[in-house]
Amino acid sequence: MANHKSAIKRIRSNDAKRVLNKYQHKTTRNALRKLRETKVRTEAEAMLPKVVAMLDKLAKRNIIHSNKAANLKSGLQVRVNKM
């Protein structure tokens, strides 16, 4: 257990950040899944900018690596273009 007041505060803040990061990551993964399951091109084109923005936000906050975000965005764009 932490012995310093600042370490106790750090543990508390880390737990709060972990919960928020987990929520944002899971929400983005669900949006990705929903976009991949979409069969209608117009719906996919409408969803794509929102999902890309979510991925960019995760990458900016270092929740996922920026290269992973770029790979996911590229794959999604290819999938939508092939529809």
* Side chain identity, residue 51: V
- Count of positions (residues) in the chain: 83
Q: Determine contact, residues 61/18, Cβ cutoff 8 Å.
A: no
pLDDT in tens, the chain (83 residues): 778 999 999 999 999 999 999 999 999 999 999 999 999 999 999 999 999 999 999 999 999 999 999 999 999 999 999 88
- Total domains in the fold of the chain: 1
User: How many angstroms separate the CA atoms of 25 and 75, rounded?
Assistant: 18
**Domain residues for 18?**
5-82
- pTM for the full predicted model: 0.81
CATH number at residue 48: 1.20.58.110
Q: Which element (helix H / strand E) includes 66?
A: helix 66-82
